[in-house]
Amino acid sequence: MKKGIILGVVTGASSDDDVLEAAFALSRLHESHIEVLHPRLDPYRMLAGFIDGINGLAASDIVTSIRQDIERRRQAAHATFNAWSTRHGLRSGAEGAKSREASAAWRDYEGTYEGAMTLHGRLADFIVVAQPQAGGRAAQDAVVEAAIFDTGRPVLCVPTGFRELDPKSVAILWNGSLEAARAVGDAMPILAACGNAVVVTAGQSDGADPTDLVERLVQRGIEARTKRVGTLQELTPRALVDTLNEGRFGLVVMGGYGHTRLREMVLGGLTRQMLAEAKIPVLLAH
């Protein structure tokens, strides 16, 4: 039996359990093995250029303090992983991935978040991360943006307090763009299990018309319809987020808009607003 791979990324934060529960729910939709990755920054890379002007003893103390914090977060993440695995009776390790039973494996990585996503994320079918929080940890923003920009894989961003992945009603943000088309294609394993898809549009499409997308979904046995929510000039990112939060959707599928320049991750306004304020899981593709 062939299994897909879902990569859940944990950082030692309180949101780790939300990520793992979402990864487990996603794995049950298409019988996937779960790999749980804990990426840790190399403290010497974090301090490169900063410790050059500090004497050796002080630099060593700084690195030791940072390593202690990193290890504390690793232990917290691993404890959450162990409790979650036990709760769901998951088989562990590589042997579990070959069986028909639900399975999970732990992965450690030290380096950069981009390096972690490049090495592990590009081999996954889906990546699951926690939603960044306003005023939250910069590390979580970096993990999310590395997952979106450095992997070419669909990323499920999970809000705080996640309880279940409910694909009965899915909102698809559609503007005809390459990113939106990729998101729909990547979401097909989920859409195939959904009871209802709503193609949400605001203004003119850059490519295929929303009704054409609805027709394709119906051909695949997915009940679908369109919903227009104003024009691009009228609709602010905040208004769209509010509309989706109030629409009783179980999932939002959308393109991840933005670009990379000199390795600085820059997210588009709508993407950032959705990641920060959506109260439902968001599946993005870039």
pLDDT tens digits for range 145-193: 899 888 999 999 999 888 788 778 899 988 888 888 999 999 998 898 8
Distance from C-alpha of 70 to C-alpha of 166, rounded to nearest angstrom: 34
Q: Are residues 57 and 182 in the same domain?
A: no
pLDDT of 231 reads: 61
Write down how long the chain is. Answer: 286
**Percent with pLDDT over 90 in the chain:** 42
Q: Are residues 201 and 115 in the same domain?
A: no
Last residue of a domain, one of 133, 158, 183: 158
pLDDT of 77 reads: 96
The total number of structural domains in the chain stands at: 2
Domain that holds residue 25: 4-158
Distance from C-alpha of 99 to C-alpha of 222, rounded to nearest angstrom: 30
Structure tokens at 129: 């991360």
Q: Are residues 144 and 62 in the same domain?
A: yes
8-57 pLDDT tens trace: 999 999 999 999 999 999 998 878 999 999 998 887 766 665 555 555 55
Q: Are residues 60 and 101 in the same domain?
A: yes
CATH of the domain at 225: 3.40.50.620
pLDDT greater than 90 at residue 246: no
Q: Are residues 153 and 176 in the same domain?
A: no
Q: Are residues 23 and 137 in the same domain?
A: yes
Last residue of a domain, one of 139, 158, 177: 158
Q: Are residues 114 and 174 in the same domain?
A: no
- Which is nearest to 114 in space by CA: 50, 11, 16, 39? 39
